[in-house]
Amino acid sequence: MSFLRDALLVAGKDLRIERRSRVALQQIIPFGGVVVMLFAFALDSDRTLLHQAAPGLFWAAVLLAVLLAVGRSFAIEEANRARDGLRLSGLDGGSIFLGKAAAVAVELFLLEVIVGAAVVVLYDVSVRGAVVLLCAAVAATVGLAATGTVYGVLAGGLRARETLLPLLVLPAVTPVMLGATRSFQAALDGTPGDAWPWVQLLTAFAVLAVAAGTVAFGPLLEEA
């Protein structure tokens, strides 16, 4: 059980840093809000169009925020050579991965709640099928956080990591974008039955991403 305890330790560390620095709260979440507003401008604030496209726009905003959250999660390891500290801590690579991914997932949840509220108000969406929405959001968020964290360490410490990360992460999470959008669409349309295959896809993706990350993170953190 020390594996999970170590993961909690790392997650606690990252969340404590975020609570004190307030980067997630004061930069990443407002960024999500701005994106939601920009989409409304792009569609000329056409109410019916916004209403129809709301699930996709919501997840597009979340996907862009994932890039910031992951970038931030590894930026704190670059400062003061914290990465070396993490490496020397004796913690298992897999548990470090789970901890960092969990911290990113918690931040994303918070973001989804706030951005989701903005979407409901600004795009005139009435919330239906709460159970489906919640299940889809949990599975999608875990998948996004895990994939982002794998690529975060993959690009970590490289010269062009800020520009490399989006190119690596976004194509890899397209199944999440598709699955989350479709299941949200089905739930909001009042046909939650159609959403379950997509929730299954999201869950399978999340399981694979967590498994891959747990295996690959340790070797990637080590210096070759």
96 binds another protein (CB under 8 A): no
Residue 167 Cβ, how far from another protein at the closest point, in Å?
4
Minimum distance between the CB of residue 157 and another protein, rounded to whole angstroms?
8
Q: Of 86, 87, 63, 90, whose CA–CA distance to 3 is shortest?
A: 90
Q: Kindly state whether residue 84 participates in binding another protein, applying the rule CB under 8 A.
A: no
Binding window for another protein (CB under 8 A); candidates: 78-86, 109-117, 168-176, 186-194 = 168-176
Radius of gyration of the chain (CA): 18
* Smallest distance, another protein to C-beta of residue 162, A: 12
Distance from CA of residue 49 to its chain's centroid?
Answer: 26
Rule CB under 8 A: choose which of 82, 120, 172, 207 binds another protein.
172
44 vs 222, which CB is nearer to another protein? 222
Burial of residue 195 (number of CB atoms within 10 Å: 0-12, 13-18, 19+): buried
Number of residues that bind another protein (CB under 8 A): 22
195 to 224: interface string for another protein, x by CB under 8 A: -------------x---x---x--xx--xx
- Contact residue for another protein among 170, 194, 196, 200 (CB under 8 A): 170
Q: What minimum distance in Å lies between the beta carbon of 121 and another protein? A: 30
Among 167, 191, 193, 197, binds another protein (CB under 8 A): 167
Angle between the 130-155 and 47-78 helix axes, to the nearest 10 degrees?
Answer: 40
158 binds another protein per the rule CB under 8 A: yes
Q: If binding is defined by CB under 8 A, does position 168 make contact with another protein?
A: yes
Task: Please check whether residue 155 is in contact with residue 220, taking contact to mean a CB–CB distance below 8 angstroms.
Answer: no
**Three-state SS sequence of 60-124:** HHHHHHHHHHHHHHHHHHHHHHHHHHHHHCCCCHHHHHHHHHHHHHHHHHHHHHHHHHHHHHHCC
Q: Which residue has the tokens 């690579």?
A: 93
Coil vs helix vs strand at 52: helix
2 scored as a contact of another protein (CB under 8 A): no
**Does residue 154 bind another protein (CB under 8 A)?**
yes
198/79 Cα distance (integer angstroms): 39
Separation of alpha carbons 217 and 26, rounded Å: 29
Residues 114-153 that bind another protein (CB under 8 A): 150
Binding positions for another protein, rule: CB under 8 A = 150, 154-155, 157-161, 164, 167-168, 170-172, 174, 208, 212, 216, 219-220, 223-224
